[in-house]
Structure 1
């Protein structure tokens, strides 16, 4: 009973008895699950980050967000409303309107190469930076800052289609120019108002066109779908229509105000 040999399973005999010349046996490592509250390694992407990578491109662009367009409206509106008010209060002879004329000033200055030669320097300035415009009843006095600006101012006003007259030199002050205020017909002022608001509308259409081109570029690159583009174009038209209605209202109020004067 005690002399019988112990029989081991065949697989265990192969693992237990190995020649010295063979390589050591390699056992498969058991994967140990990390605790539930253990931190996530930085090099292991989470399921949420994988999902975010897949949908990130779509989330970055909202075709119904027209902020890039509507953010340009306040600046455009301010520019044209200022000009509209100038037309309503003095027309083209409003001091603020006159002050926006661009005057080209040429002056002779030394060259930058230190050679001692002279060159002509050309600069553009708004009229209001070269003189003070003072209303005096039926005339406007232009109190010029420096004598070198006299001739450029005279040339600018004379060449302007809005004024088309030669300011007169003052007998008492060499730096004063006198501009006669001419009455405008009501019909002419109304036409100028409508021309101004039409330019205002064109500026809005131009801004809308730039945004529409941007949306089509999104579609071309696959950032938005064709149905999203169509929906965005419909909403974009509504944004433009709303802005055009505001301009129409401003024009109607201005014409009505001129009719009462």
Structure 2
């Protein structure tokens, strides 16, 4: 009996004390105090997954000069980029670098900015269609517009071929002669012609002149030429529509800021539609006449 009582007292003394309370002595036996265990909290599984994801994706923050140099600038928001683009357009500078008159909210019916942007677009595409009418890829103008990098150490500095050589169609129309002004430009011209997707051939050196290169004329099929004409005209229409969208944004801004009233905005939209429709009609006429010319030369 005494042994059973002693064992019970010993077990009670060695039992773990409750959190934050001293162990209770029983029958004169004092148990050694134990350190209080810190309170633990159970975190839900969803919260643990979110916290883990943040811990793995969060980038460390460093203020040293070396780390700042390695850090890339944050991408700009699309809204900020559009604001800067609109600001540049309002100041009169186009994406092509040309200066155009800015639209004046004091004279909203003045569409000089639209007309100024349409003129270089029309000139560019009319020239492209004329080249297709006069022989497709292998005509002196198209070959002369090919960009050439004379210096290998500066591949970004290029010049049009017609500034580095004279381009002369040979008798019979089956070859074109390229006469380089300097011998140092011959290799660069050969490389530019060979790497061009429009020509993609190796020019041959003339046997009696080290400055002369010969290009073999490869006439385009009528179907290929017609496909090029349609692609060029569709691109022309897209550029015209881009000019309209730029002016449409200004009309919306003027209306939102109460610069123009609702009736005046309707008038502005109608006038802009008239200008753009007339320009699209020019594209249609030019496309039709080019296609007729190609069919007549089959």
Find the residue that maps to 1:106 and give its secondary structure.
Answer: coil
Please tell me whether residue 131 in structure 1 is matched to residue 165 in structure 2.
yes
TM-score (ref. length: structure 2)? 0.60
Number of residue pairs matched by the alignment: 192
Gaps of 5+ in 1: 1-58, 109-119
Higher RCO (CA < 8 A, seq sep 6+): 1
How far apart, CA to CA, are the structure 2 residues paired with 1:253 and 1:163? 26
The within-5 A match list for 1:6-17 is none
Q: CA deviation at 1:215?
A: 2.2
Q: How far, CA to CA, are the matches of 1:101 and 1:213 in structure 2?
A: 37
Task: Find the aligned partners of 2:129 and 2:150 in 1 and give their Cα distance.
Answer: 28
2:223 aligns with 187
Which residue of structure 2 aligns with residue 258 of structure 1? 294
Task: State the partner residue of 1:246.
Answer: 282
TM-score (norm 1): 0.68
- In the alignment, does 2:200 pair up with 1:164? yes
Q: Deviations over 1:76-104 (max 9, x none)?
A: 21211111111101111010011111112
Aligned Cα root-mean-square deviation (Å): 1.9
Instruction: Quote the offset at 1:209 in angstroms.
Output: 1.6
Distance 2:105 2:274 in 1: 23
Runs of 4+, deviation exceeding 3 Å: none
Q: Matches of residues 18-37 of structure 1 in structure 2 within 5 Å?
A: none
Matched-pair contact (CA < 8 Å) for 2:137–2:198: yes
Distance 2:291 2:147 in 1: 28
Instruction: Indicate conservation of the 8 Å contact 1:154/1:167, yes or no.
Output: yes
Aligned to 1:221: 257
SS at match of 1:82: helix
Contact 1:103 1:127 in 2 (8 A): yes
User: Does the alignment pair 1:154 with 2:190?
Assistant: yes
SS in 2 for 1:178: strand
After superposition, residues 48-197 of structure 1 pair within 5 angstroms as 61-106=106-151, 122-136=156-170, 137-197=173-233
